[in-house]
Structure 1
């Protein structure tokens, strides 16, 4: 599926284009929350046959928490993968993918190197590297974090902690005023390699160029 967004105001807008695989379920970030929750629960019920009510509610609850965070961070796309684990078919595996656009001041000659330096924190386990993609050089970040929910999905005040692995691929946009961030988050660590391959494919599809029209299309544009 091809997706596009615009960076900046309409008069100086620059295109951002990328492709996402069909197995990702796109999440409408502007949709009414009640409608989205009902559909997510129905999907979880259909996919998670044999799962408990708590397990289905947990998937829906985690999705809503993720969406609230993405909206606050400037997401232009969010997608979720829910499937039986390849590593253990008896388990359900989930992963969240998103693309964020953030304002940035990229005045340095090597802006991504400056960003990388700012991400290094003493005592924090975080991998930072660089990779080359068709859209240009990108900063690649990976880390594991412990996520603690203060309550259960039913509202009980019992904290639960899980290990979540995260990856980000950051592009400096050509306008030098934005960065585009592709993100992956999952606690299904046994299937991590498959998710990384999906994220890498998305990064290889990123383009900041406008779609070129053919000569015949230009001639017929007024009809």
Structure 2
């Protein structure tokens, strides 16, 4: 499933655009939680008919928990990735984007310096993580890959105690061309076994990031505009 583009008012110029590949489902962040869970359950039934009820429940519950966490943190875009990996294995991940803008700062920021400062900050915060800089078509980006331990509320799975889970996540912090601030792209999954395959998918997304509006024939199918502030 591909994502559709968000309508834009004439004076509302997006900070950037990016393309989602098949298998990513964008969430309506204003949608009622109960309706969203039921819709995710229907999607899981359709895509993974041979999965056990416990697998489907775990997938939907963990997706909703992470989604609610991202919405509370201010995410402007959240997608769920539902894929079949080699060996016909069920696999799920979550992708989100946040626009971070300082209240004040020069419009023409030193983008390379900003990316380097972010990488230094991440090295201090996450000493066990893989941290570096990568050059994308949009520009330089700080990169951080790390494992994170979560406690998913047991009530989501019909249990009394929280359920521990380890997720691997990659963060790209991409200084904006449109002014001070940056776009934070984050992907996370519990399927660490297929991390290499996910990195290939994410590479395609990040290479698609652009400040320029894509051609009209592709826009309705896959391209997503994102901006800072309130939509």
Q: TM-score range by the shorter chain?
A: 0.7 to 0.9
How far the C-alpha of 1:150 sits from its partner, in A, is 4.2
Contact kept in structure 1, 2:138 and 2:207, CA below 8 Å: yes
Within-5 A mapping of 1:125-204: 125-204=128-207
User: Which runs of no fewer than 5 residues in structure 1 stay unpaired?
Assistant: 214-223
User: Which runs of no fewer than 5 residues in structure 2 stay unpaired?
Assistant: 217-231
How far the C-alpha of 1:203 sits from its partner, in A, is 0.8
Q: Number of matched residues?
A: 210
Which residue is 1:216 aligned to?
A: none
Larger Rg: 1
Q: How far apart in 2 are the matches of 1:150 and 1:31?
A: 21
Which residue is 1:56 aligned to?
A: 56
Which residue is 1:219 aligned to?
A: none
- In 2 relative to 1, CA 159–98 (structure 1 residues): closer, same or farther, beyond 3 Å? same
TM-score, normalization by structure 2: 0.78
How far the C-alpha of 1:121 sits from its partner, in A, is 2.7
- What is the CA RMSD across the aligned residues, in angstroms? 2.9
Q: How far apart in 2 are the matches of 1:122 and 1:73?
A: 18
Which residue is 1:38 aligned to?
A: 38
Contact kept in structure 1, 2:15 and 2:178, CA below 8 Å: no
How far the C-alpha of 1:76 sits from its partner, in A, is 2.5
SS in 2 for 1:180: strand
How far the C-alpha of 1:130 sits from its partner, in A, is 0.7
SS in 1 for 2:156: coil
Greater shift in the superposed pair: 177-186 or 123-132: 123-132
SS in 2 for 1:49: coil
Greater shift in the superposed pair: 53-62 or 127-136: 53-62
Select which of 83, 88, 100 maps to 2:98: 100
Question: 1:8-42, CA deviations, whole angstroms, 9 ceiling, x for partnerless residues?
Answer: xx968453111111221222212222221111111
SS in 2 for 1:174: coil
Greater fraction strand: 1
Q: Report which structure shows greater RCO (CA 8 Å, sep ≥6).
A: 2
